[in-house]
Chain A
Amino acid sequence: MNVPLLNVSGATRRFGGLVAVNEVSFEIGPGQVCGLIGPNGAGKSTMFDLITGVRPLSSGSIHFMGRDVTQEPAHSRSPMGMSRTFQIVRLFPGMSVLENVLMGFQPKFPDGVIRSLFGIGRLGGQERDARQRAYEILDFVGLADRAGDRIDELTLGQLRLVDIGRAMAASPRFLMLDEPAAGLNDAETNNLAEMLARLKADGLSMLLVEHDIDFIMNACDKIVVMDRGTKIADDIPARVRTNDAVIAAYIGKRAHDAQH
């Protein structure tokens, strides 16, 4: 890989005196699935917020497909091909399942009322195509028969799938998933893993923040491990599993030695 899909370079984020993310650098290549793990308070979620644009960096930079996106607001990342899901499912409760997925197509529609009115002739076709695609996506995640349901009629596992479907609607090059397996039972987790494998087979790059170590070891090509804001490992799963610093961070033994 010559140009990495995502390049995080010296990313730092301070909250007052606390350095939540400290000089973290890593790369994700095209088609790669990268895991981001670490014990509680390691800075994973903050790192995720920096990459998705929810929070600005204190210093450092983030490049996506060779383009500097450090200063880009969250809402301009989805149109560039960076889509995300949420740990605490954040679907729109006022909309049906289908409409939630349709929201993923938003960047493909004209922006605002005036441009939409000028393009009103094409709008019907665009809406029809988007609905067609939304049904295909719901079919892909196995929820085609729930298209008209309200969000509160679905289980947590199904909500996660709708969330992923909604992110997929933007045809992303890079999908960022924030603890997709959290709160799921074994069957739901297996279903999710199988779906992510299918997406990976289609060549989609992903970043997975996850607590479930088995889930992430199986799903990822490489794993970045963080502890107390710094990167302590960046390697293939098999070697991360036996990395001393990683074991120390998770077990807690010799944690102090590993840091210094």
Chain B
Amino acid sequence: MPLATKRASVWPVVAVLALGVALPFLLSGGFQLRIAMLIWIFAILSMGFNLLYGYTGQISMGQQGFYAVGAYAFALLQIKLGLSPVLAFAGAVAICAVLGLIVAYPLLRLRTHYLAMATLGFGLILNGVANRWIDFTGGTAGLTVPPLTWGGEALGRTGIYYVVLAIAGVVFLLHDFIARSHVGRALQAIRDDETAAAALGVPVRRYKLRIFVLAAAIAAVAGCCFSVVSLRVDPSLGEFHILVSMLTIAVVGGLGTRFGPLIGAAIVTILPQLLLQFGAAETLIYGAFIVLFLLFIPHGLAGLVENVRWTRKSAAPARTAATNVLEVKG
């Protein structure tokens, strides 16, 4: 089956966002709206991971760390410095971007599982800080985040939903712009073959740094959104289950695809709720579901939807690994 030769259109994204706008009118009750907000938040987090790992091939197992730092910074900038939510949001994203740069600079010379281990270590350090620096982070109890207000009154659930949707929409459009443009092609080139990418004028190291910083900033955006929704930040934000959710979303949705993060986030958020009726068997069924996905749809649902493009991806990492060996041997 031939791959698309036409440039991808922005209209599917616009349609999805229009559905997002209509969602509060279609859903019944606050619980469903809360699920919808969680979907958008996980979609944001996963889009950063998708750009970094799916498109550029640089794995980071520390995204939950940036997610937590973003959420904590958003809370602390308001509590300790009395900043407005908008300024606290900008500050939290900026802090994570700078932190991302500091982490990426030494770590991005590593590849594959070495990079995974190093970034995982970064995540674990941050989690330790959140748990033990009790005076600053509130320890395991966490911090209470001041609610968003509008005209002196606390913003209602629907209002908060639209705030989250607006932010998610911007991230979604940015993610999609990168995925469809020459920038996305350059990132895929880096993922597939760094030497060839450099020969074609792609500044490989600079692009890897930039995308790592962007992914960290996007994780911070997701963290801020979570604080706004839950009104509480605690160390569980930076824990393993966030990373596992992100990886599950990648598997279910499809890495390196335009809609994988959103589709994956929707399924990973909704499915456990649907399985609750099975009681104790829920985890078992959920686990079996993930295994079936890995066996039969290894490139995710978006991979199925966006034609066969992803089926090539399995060859790419092996090829990169072989190239590395050659480079080391000189």
Contacts and interface: CB of A to CB of B under 8 A. Distances in A.
Interface of A: 15, 52, 54, 73-79, 83-84, 86, 90-96, 98-99, 102-107, 109, 111-113, 116-117, 120, 123, 127-128, 130-131, 147-152, 166, 170
11 contacts: A75-B200, A86-B199, A93-B312, A94-B188, A94-B309, A99-B185, A106-B182, A106-B186, A128-B7, A150-B312, A170-B201
A105 B186 CA distance: 10
Interface stretch (B110-118, B133-141, B145-153, B313-321): B313-321
A75 B201 contact: yes
A90 B113 CA distance: 23
A166 B256 CA distance: 23
A113 B200 contact: no
B204 interface: yes
Nearest to A92: B192
Residue of B2, B182, B203, B315 ringed by the most chain A CB atoms within 10 A: B182
A151 B330 CA distance: 27
B185 A93 contact: no
B193 A90 contact: yes
Interface residues of B, number: 40
Residue of A83, A106, A107 ringed by the most chain B CB atoms within 10 A: A106
A116 B182 contact: yes
B201 A76 contact: yes
Nearest to A148: B2
A93 B316 CA distance: 6
Contact of A152 (B198, B256, B315): B315
A66 B221 CA distance: 49
A173 to B, nearest CB: 14
A52 B330 CA distance: 15
Interface string B199-210: 111111001001
Contact of B199 (A78, A94, A127): A78
Contact of B183 (A75, A91, A116): A116
A94 B313 contact: yes
B4 interface: yes
B4 A74 contact: no
Contacts of B214: 113
A50 to B, nearest CB: 13
Contacts of B204: 75
Contacts of A123: 181
A206 to B, nearest CB: 16
B5 interface: yes
Residue of B188, B196, B199, B204 ringed by the most chain A CB atoms within 10 A: B199
Contacts of A104: 200
Contacts of B178: 113
A92 B199 CA distance: 12
Contacts of B199: 52, 54, 74-75, 77-78, 83-84, 86
Contact of B330 (A15, A79, A95, A111): A15
Task: Across the A-B interface, give the 6 residue pairs with the lowest CB-CB distance, nearest first.
Answer: A148-B2, A78-B201, A96-B3, A107-B201, A92-B192, A90-B196
Given A73-B203, A113-B214, A130-B182, 17 more contacts: A73-B198, A74-B199, A75-B203, A90-B193, A91-B193, A92-B196, A94-B192, A95-B185, A95-B192, A102-B185, A103-B189, A112-B210, A113-B183, A148-B3, A150-B308, A166-B200, A170-B200
